[in-house]
Structure 1
Amino acid sequence: MNKQVILTQQVAEKQNVLTLIADLKSLVKFPVLIANVLPVFTGFWLALYFSNASFQDYFSLFLLTITGSTLVIAGALVINNWYDVDIDSVMARTMKRPTVTGTISLKMVLMLGIILTSVGFILLLFTTIEATIYAFIGWFTYVVLYTMWSKRKYTLNTVIGSVSGAVTPFIGWTAVASGNHMVPILLFSILFIWQMPHTFAIAMRKYEEYKAAGVAMLPVVRGFTMTKRQIIVYVACLLPLPFYFIEFSLTFVIIATILTLAWLGLSIYGLFTKDDQKYAYISFLYSVNYITILFLLLVIVTLPVFR
């Protein structure tokens, strides 16, 4: 076998590996996965802070919590891909997923989702039962109540989907301490409310695709004006929540309030603009940065250097 043939085979093998990695990242919806793991970390970190515990002493527990929750979330996202293959084949942004292209069989996708979920729950059982229960609530809400039941039928699907994403701080917190505390409840509330305008912005951007796929998103069923009014209401509901942290961190309260007021201003502007797609895109980008900054800021203000 000459060098050219060997080189060609090596290039092909490398390309196959890269394709497989890309397919797996698509199956677990990698950006969505990371966005859901961050609140788990924040919840864990704040539980240590309020318990006056050392991160070093809980490092093994941290690894179990993060790894277990990541696998459970990934499993839910993979099963979502498996179930939604008919919708994904219609929507432009999802047509290249391996479930649609056939590069990975649906049977293999389902098996992967079940395996990831099962291993994740097993690892979480080595943390606390409470953390495992919250992970199950999130998984069941997303896979069964959202994906399989409400997504195609009711505009309420956004509310149900928001519950699954909002329980993530409870997973991290309850791995360390009881969930009967104001902080994880506030984190849940912020995430739950935030997901509504965030998802509405996505639904506005992908209006034609959701309509073609027959998904009952609010803009498809009730129109853009109603959706933009709902966005204003939900963003306004975020305003008072940071003030519950005022004794904990004034810096957080000030920054969070400024960010929320700016988002509210953008949302009110959106009610009057005629360029709905541009507004939806800007609102989507702002919402992603908003929640990332808030949850990272909660970690930063509790670092030892700031205590």
Structure 2
Amino acid sequence: MKSLRFKIILAMALMIIILLAGVIGFKNVMDLSWIDAFYMTAITITTVGYREVVLPNDDAKVFIIILILSSVIILGFVVSVATEYFISFSSLSDLQLKRKLKKIKKMENHTIVCGFGRNGQQAAQKLMEYQDAFLVIDKNLDLLEQSGLKSEQFLVGNANEDEVLISAGIEKAANLITALPNDAENLFIVLSARQLNKDLRIISRASEETSYRKLKLAGADNVILPDKIGGQHMASLIVSPDLLEFWDNLSYGDSKSVNLEQVSYEQLFSHGKSCTILELDLRQRTGCTIIGFKSSDGEYIVNPNPNIKLTPNSKIIVIGNASQIKRLQEIYSI
């Protein structure tokens, strides 16, 4: 674009120069008035062949020949620049898409969100709060452009197509969330994604309970039924309202008031040796309390025993107020 901008400026400058040279030349060589000099310049540069104001002498003929040859070359250059300028409008979108795909190609360990409906928007919002790299795929261009997402955060296309998933960098992605309203489409995406990336963590939305097992068999690590969760949540507000309200007030996405944090062994230690929860002494150092433990084998333990050993690939879940969580994050650079 910089090269084209320079060509446009150069073309305009050459046109002004040839006009000024023609007007001044005709005025001096043929002793014409300014209006006649401009008229002669116009009919000479455009080669329309109208009659001369006065018959040219030999000096004027030489000047006219030079002016015609120069103007033909300059006008040819101007036309080519103008053509390139108008063509660039149609290719601008292609250029922007190439730049976007180039940025996406560099992404690693990101999350791909398929579908930008209600659930997809909530997932993207939460990832944004966590400042995790993500990319949204949806067929609705207007919806994506009005969402406030950056250009490199969304891709227009059908997530059912392998080419679109590959363009989204699925081979280097860490997670995939498919939140389409149609279970069949989610199932197809899960199958395709699992084939393209065996190590990908896949989370799928499901509308029907009958789709749960199919999505799991297709390769989804987790299947979420929003309607079921919503109904259970509403019933729980009747059975144990205080407990649910307390849980709802816990924050794990807003960096200003985080109450829950997941911490991996690798974030705590670099030596690779095992350490018990008691030896970690997290309560004394940060004020946070460990409420959950996930072993390297994937087993979850609620309110773990202090003698449980933290080993590589294990994780702990901690709870605390905003200042305690902030201290934890500062100490372990989370």
TM bucket by the smaller chain? Answer: under 0.3
Higher relative contact order (CA 8 A, sep 6+): 1
- Normalised to the residue count of structure 1, the TM-score between the two structures is 0.26
Structure having the higher Rg: 2
From the two aligned structures, give the one with the greater strand fraction: 2
From the two aligned structures, give the one with the greater helix fraction: 1
